[in-house]
Chain A
Amino acid sequence: MTGEEPDAGGDPPSVAIADPLLSPPTSPLDLPFDVPSLLALSRRGQWRAVLDAVAVARRSHGLLPHHHLVCLAVSALALSKLRRFSDAAAEIDALDAPLDSPRFRFESYPSSYPGRSGSMVPFALRFLHADLPQRLGTRSVTVDRLYALFDLVRSKILEETTTASADLWRRREVFVIASLCCNHFVHREFEAALALVRLLLERDPSDPLLLSRLGYVQLQIGDLTGAKASFARLENLHPSGERTVELENLVGRNKALEFIVVKDYAAAVREYEECIERDPADVVALNNKALCLMYSRDLSDSIKVLEGALERVPTAALNETLVVNLCSMYELAYVNHGDVKKTLSNWIAQVAPDDFDPSCTRI
């Protein structure tokens, strides 16, 4: 089709009526939906509503190529959150061209985006494209795509001309390395996970979150000396007088883990209680404190801690891991645990966000 620009979305461009959404030339965040509303829905976990909003947006007139891609990214994310992985994958596959195709670059549409160049693909779309295969049973494809994404990000960092842009790609690099590390960890490939943590530490040797997580990987392996050194390093780099509440709690929780390792559950509980006093919504402290109580033979109190957390700070505490732990405790405590789990499950159905995984109650 000579004289026509290629279309990213597959729909023929319709005649533009006076549409408030369409104002040439577009600034990049003018999207066919209200951004603050969409973000609010996402932050409230209302993913079905997000899907609806995207569907409406897709039906509007005068959509530009980059609009289609953003809608696709949001739709794929919402479908993933709702655990409709094959639908999400199908939508991305319908693009019918790889993400690096010229179809998805601004310079291919000079009349729509005068003077602009670069890729219009939202980075999240690349990530989702990499993440989905493992949800559908082909983990090796995910790993390959994530490492390819790692390569892409690294070459972008070298290319970028502005500092802001290079910084953005560096953040993305950390994100991709961390995602790979997580993937290896989940599949018990600890040597690979450690190598990636090493890579991250080279970039930021004093990051307290990173040092803590190194400790967690070491603890999961059983390398107690290594973990102790990692936690100690964190404390030395961020001495006690200069810590935020968040950091103080991080240090406290790490100390508690060291007590758990030597089975001194009472001392671990004390550390967690201090954390909870500083931040009553510290879910990790609440969850782990309950575990310590259970390991101290106090099943009743462990259940109370978790039930209490769900009651007092539901949005923070409503977490699949916490619910799995609570249900395990119910199974141990009650011969007829079906009823109490059903009550919990009903409450969750009323309060939980759309992306909450209901299978964690194991009913």
Chain B
Amino acid sequence: MSGQLQGGSPSNHSLAFRVMRLCRPSFQAEEAVLRLLDPLDLLAAEDILVDPSLPPDDLLRISDPSTPDAVANSDFTFRDRFQIRNPVDAMALSGLLIVPQSFGNIYLGETFSSYISVNNSSKFEARDVIIKVICSGLLPLPKCFKHGYQQIFQRGSLDEHVPKGVVMYPVISLWDSYCCFLKKCKAEIQTERQRILLLDTSKSPVESIRSGGRYDFIVEHDVKELGPHTLVCTALYNDGDSERKYLPQFFKFIVNNPLSVRTKVRTVKDNTYLEACIENHTKSNLYMDQVEFEPSQQWTATRLETSEYSAEANSETRGLLKPPVLIRAGGGIYNYLYVIKSTIEEFGQSKVDGSSILGKFQITWRMNLGEPGRLQTQQIYGTPITQKDIELQMLDIPPIIILERPFQVHLSITNQTDRTLGPFEVFTSPGISNDEKFVMVNGIQKLVLPPLEASNSNIFDMNLIATGLGVQKISGITIFDVREKKLYDPLPDVEIFVDTTTTT
């Protein structure tokens, strides 16, 4: 028994909706049924041609697919299910397409396309048929029955007892009967999402659907909301007794999130980089047709990519086989890297701070036979970096540093504002950790620097000494603006190698 569920009470309705999701077809590889072989490989030893005394022509004739059959009545032949014509045929891809065999998954950004057929399986004509198809986020439900709705909704789920087949089965009938009743009583119905009308024949009703006949249509809907959706199909018609009947049927599907995009903004020296990682949450491999970063007005973005695809030795095949960007199903990732530059030339370097909007991503992916999906990310912001009025840089470290021998490092201090700053004090601060420091200032602990005018730099030396061997860090060199009482972030750690005295 096919366990078909119908909306309303089946025996009372002449009409019924048949709904099938119409995503694009796929290529069928027929290797499960066909194992094509060369008869020579079946009937002869594999080293048959090693013996030069054998007449190869006789043997090879067996392989020839055009040899007529010895037995008469060779019209009725399934030769192509047995004998291979060309070894490449083992790929089993003849180009045969197969319709989608199950509803599959549907994702945000895709287009939900569906074949809908209104069948008249009764003995009587149905006349003046008004058909409406609405796609809504959730079923309409009366406020007081929200809890009950959940239970019925889940009980009527597509996953239960649905025989193998491509046609969608409607949600269990109880609820839609109840909804009709509510509509008649004009009860208050709460709809939680927008209802989108996909088809409405009210203006020109279908005059007649004869007994055994059908009225077909295809609807398409760009999926823009996540979560459970309902396709509400209704038909209002006159049945054989000229009674005006109302048939509602509800088909449920769930929209999932296909991708997540994680971004990171980093500033390295003078450049700002945007790194985006796209993760595929779907059950299919996604071909990234287009991933474009659209910067906001004050920025330009250039994609950086390695040419992993090395020059093909065979130039004829080169153009054909550029590896596509294919992100694997169920958690595969792919990374994109961009350099962000300011379009407005400010003095000094362009700074990306936490409040600047960098732009957003437009992503188009494709699945079988080009089935597209499109998504756009939200605005991406630069990471918050404190604007540095004073830039401190380590210019120079001596190549050889000997334990317990003082050495000099050269530093520069740059005033990146438009006013004079300073005077300054430079010292090493203990830092956050309580680790013992093996590199310290030799001599006066606090260096005083004179004030610095706008956009000017000053180079100065610090005298340091190392008290530990091996790899050590110069850390905690800090600048303090005496007048403004402003302490700046310390210079990032610099690694040095401390050697023993070289003995001759």
Interface residues of A (CB under 8 A from B): 27-29, 31, 35-40, 42-45, 66, 69-70, 73-74, 77, 80-81, 106, 116-124, 126-128, 131, 160-162, 164-165, 168, 171-172, 174-176, 178-179, 181-183, 185-186, 188, 190-191, 194, 197-198, 200-202, 205, 207, 209-214, 216-224, 226, 229-230, 233, 253-254, 257, 260-262, 283-284, 287-288, 291, 294-295, 297, 299-300, 315-316, 318-322, 324-325, 328-329, 331-336, 338, 353, 355-357, 362
Whether a CB of chain A sits under 8 angstroms from the CB of B2 is yes
Binary contact readout B429-445 vs A (1 if CB under 8 angstroms, 0 otherwise): 00000000000000000
When the two chains form their complex, are residues B35 and A131 in contact, meaning their CB atoms are under 8 A apart? yes
Q: How far is the CB of B64 from chain A (nearest CB, A)?
A: 11
Whether a CB of chain A sits under 8 angstroms from the CB of B390 is no
When the two chains form their complex, are residues A43 and B317 in contact, meaning their CB atoms are under 8 A apart? no
Assembly CA distance A194 to B218 (angstroms): 35
When the two chains form their complex, are residues B317 and A202 in contact, meaning their CB atoms are under 8 A apart? yes
Answer whether A172 and B217 are a contact pair too, CB < 8 Å, given A45-B82, A164-B49, A315-B75: no
When the two chains form their complex, are residues B77 and A210 in contact, meaning their CB atoms are under 8 A apart? no
B461 neighbours in A (Cβ, 8 Å): none
Mark out the residues of chain B between 453 and 489 whose CB falls within 8 Å of any chain A CB in the assembled complex.
none
When the two chains form their complex, are residues B365 and A222 in contact, meaning their CB atoms are under 8 A apart? yes
Which of B2, B18, B97 is the one whose CB lies under 8 Å from A291? Answer: B97
Q: How far is the CB of A213 from chain B (nearest CB, A)?
A: 5
Interface residues of B (CB under 8 A from A): 2, 4, 16, 18, 20, 22, 24-33, 35, 37-52, 54, 56, 58-59, 62, 69-71, 74-84, 86-99, 101, 115, 117, 119, 121, 164-167, 214, 216-218, 284-287, 289, 314, 316-317, 319-324, 326, 329, 365-371
Chain A residue nearest to B54 (CB atoms) is: A28
Answer whether A77 and B35 are a contact pair too, CB < 8 Å, given A118-B47, A188-B284: yes
A119 neighbours in B (Cβ, 8 Å): 45-47
Q: How far is the CB of A42 from chain B (nearest CB, A)?
A: 5
When the two chains form their complex, are residues B54 and A27 in contact, meaning their CB atoms are under 8 A apart? yes
When the two chains form their complex, are residues A325 and B41 in contact, meaning their CB atoms are under 8 A apart? no
When the two chains form their complex, are residues B370 and A219 in contact, meaning their CB atoms are under 8 A apart? yes
Answer whether A287 and B51 are a contact pair too, CB < 8 Å, given A294-B115, A297-B217: no
Answer whether A43 and B82 are a contact pair too, CB < 8 Å, given A74-B42, A201-B321: yes
When the two chains form their complex, are residues A333 and B320 in contact, meaning their CB atoms are under 8 A apart? no
Among B28, B81, B89, the one with the most A-chain Cβ atoms within 10 Å of its Cβ is B81
When the two chains form their complex, are residues B369 and A260 in contact, meaning their CB atoms are under 8 A apart? yes
A253 neighbours in B (Cβ, 8 Å): 95
A106 neighbours in B (Cβ, 8 Å): 45, 47
Chain B residue nearest to A299 (CB atoms) is: B216
Which of B77, B88, B167 is the one whose CB lies under 8 Å from A332? Answer: B167
When the two chains form their complex, are residues A221 and B35 in contact, meaning their CB atoms are under 8 A apart? no
A73 neighbours in B (Cβ, 8 Å): 42-43
Q: Shortest 9 CB-CB distances between A and B: which pairs?
A: A118-B47, A222-B366, A222-B287, A178-B90, A36-B70, A174-B87, A165-B49, A123-B41, A120-B45
Assembly CA distance A59 to B482 (angstroms): 108
When the two chains form their complex, are residues A222 and B289 in contact, meaning their CB atoms are under 8 A apart? yes
When the two chains form their complex, are residues A40 and B70 in contact, meaning their CB atoms are under 8 A apart? yes
Knowing that A178-B87, A220-B368 are A-B contacts, what are 16 other residue pairs whose CB atoms are under 8 Å apart, sorted by A's residue number?
Answer: A40-B69, A73-B43, A74-B43, A116-B51, A117-B50, A118-B47, A122-B46, A168-B40, A168-B48, A178-B90, A291-B97, A328-B99, A331-B165, A332-B167, A333-B214, A357-B33
When the two chains form their complex, are residues B78 and A44 in contact, meaning their CB atoms are under 8 A apart? yes
Q: How far is the CB of A320 from chain B (nearest CB, A)?
A: 5
When the two chains form their complex, are residues B47 and A120 in contact, meaning their CB atoms are under 8 A apart? yes
Chain B residue nearest to A171 (CB atoms) is: B87
B25 neighbours in A (Cβ, 8 Å): 260, 291
A38 neighbours in B (Cβ, 8 Å): 43
A77 neighbours in B (Cβ, 8 Å): 35, 37, 42
When the two chains form their complex, are residues B29 and A186 in contact, meaning their CB atoms are under 8 A apart? yes
Which of B70, B89, B320, B371 is the one whose CB lies under 8 Å from A214? Answer: B320
Assembly CA distance A81 to B34 (angstroms): 8
When the two chains form their complex, are residues B321 and A194 in contact, meaning their CB atoms are under 8 A apart? yes
25 contacts between A and B (CB under 8 A): A37-B70, A37-B71, A44-B76, A45-B82, A69-B45, A77-B37, A80-B35, A117-B50, A119-B45, A119-B47, A120-B46, A122-B42, A123-B46, A165-B49, A168-B48, A179-B31, A185-B91, A201-B317, A216-B95, A224-B289, A226-B322, A291-B25, A319-B30, A331-B167, A335-B4
Assembly CA distance A195 to B205 (angstroms): 55
Assembly CA distance A353 to B78 (angstroms): 7
Which of A37, A116, A127, A254 is the one whose CB lies under 8 Å from B37? Answer: A127
When the two chains form their complex, are residues B317 and A165 in contact, meaning their CB atoms are under 8 A apart? no
When the two chains form their complex, are residues B81 and A45 in contact, meaning their CB atoms are under 8 A apart? yes
A179 neighbours in B (Cβ, 8 Å): 31, 90-91
Q: How far is the CB of B81 from chain A (nearest CB, A)?
A: 6
B27 neighbours in A (Cβ, 8 Å): 216, 219-220
Chain B residue nearest to A296 (CB atoms) is: B218
B99 neighbours in A (Cβ, 8 Å): 291, 294, 324-325, 328-329
Assembly CA distance A155 to B164 (angstroms): 46
Chain B residue nearest to A286 (CB atoms) is: B96
When the two chains form their complex, are residues A194 and B75 in contact, meaning their CB atoms are under 8 A apart? no
When the two chains form their complex, are residues A288 and B92 in contact, meaning their CB atoms are under 8 A apart? no
Chain A residue nearest to B167 (CB atoms) is: A331
When the two chains form their complex, are residues B93 and A217 in contact, meaning their CB atoms are under 8 A apart? yes
B121 neighbours in A (Cβ, 8 Å): 334-336
Answer whether A202 and B369 are a contact pair too, CB < 8 Å, given A66-B45, A221-B326, A229-B319: no
Chain A residue nearest to B47 (CB atoms) is: A118
Q: How far is the CB of B272 from chain A (nearest CB, A)?
A: 32
A37 neighbours in B (Cβ, 8 Å): 70-71
Among B40, B42, B286, B368, the one with the most A-chain Cβ atoms within 10 Å of its Cβ is B42
Chain B residue nearest to A165 (CB atoms) is: B49
When the two chains form their complex, are residues B289 and A230 in contact, meaning their CB atoms are under 8 A apart? no
Chain B residue nearest to A200 (CB atoms) is: B88
When the two chains form their complex, are residues A43 and B79 in contact, meaning their CB atoms are under 8 A apart? yes
B217 neighbours in A (Cβ, 8 Å): 297
Assembly CA distance A205 to B325 (angstroms): 23
Which of A183, A205, A209 is the one whose CB lies under 8 Å from B88? Answer: A209
Answer whether A220 and B97 are a contact pair too, CB < 8 Å, given A174-B87, A315-B75: no
Answer whether A288 and B97 are a contact pair too, CB < 8 Å, given A162-B49, A222-B289, A222-B367: yes
B117 neighbours in A (Cβ, 8 Å): 299, 332-333
Q: How far is the CB of B321 from chain A (nearest CB, A)?
A: 5
A216 neighbours in B (Cβ, 8 Å): 27, 93, 95
Which of A122, A294, A320, A338 is the one whose CB lies under 8 Å from B41? Answer: A122
When the two chains form their complex, are residues B90 and A162 in contact, meaning their CB atoms are under 8 A apart? no
When the two chains form their complex, are residues B75 and A185 in contact, meaning their CB atoms are under 8 A apart? no
Q: How far is the CB of B312 from chain A (nearest CB, A)?
A: 8
When the two chains form their complex, are residues B46 and A126 in contact, meaning their CB atoms are under 8 A apart? yes
Assembly CA distance A174 to B41 (angstroms): 14
Assembly CA distance A176 to B26 (angstroms): 24
When the two chains form their complex, are residues B33 and A320 in contact, meaning their CB atoms are under 8 A apart? yes
When the two chains form their complex, are residues B52 and A70 in contact, meaning their CB atoms are under 8 A apart? no
When the two chains form their complex, are residues A178 and B89 in contact, meaning their CB atoms are under 8 A apart? yes
When the two chains form their complex, are residues B81 and A353 in contact, meaning their CB atoms are under 8 A apart? yes
When the two chains form their complex, are residues B48 and A28 in contact, meaning their CB atoms are under 8 A apart? yes
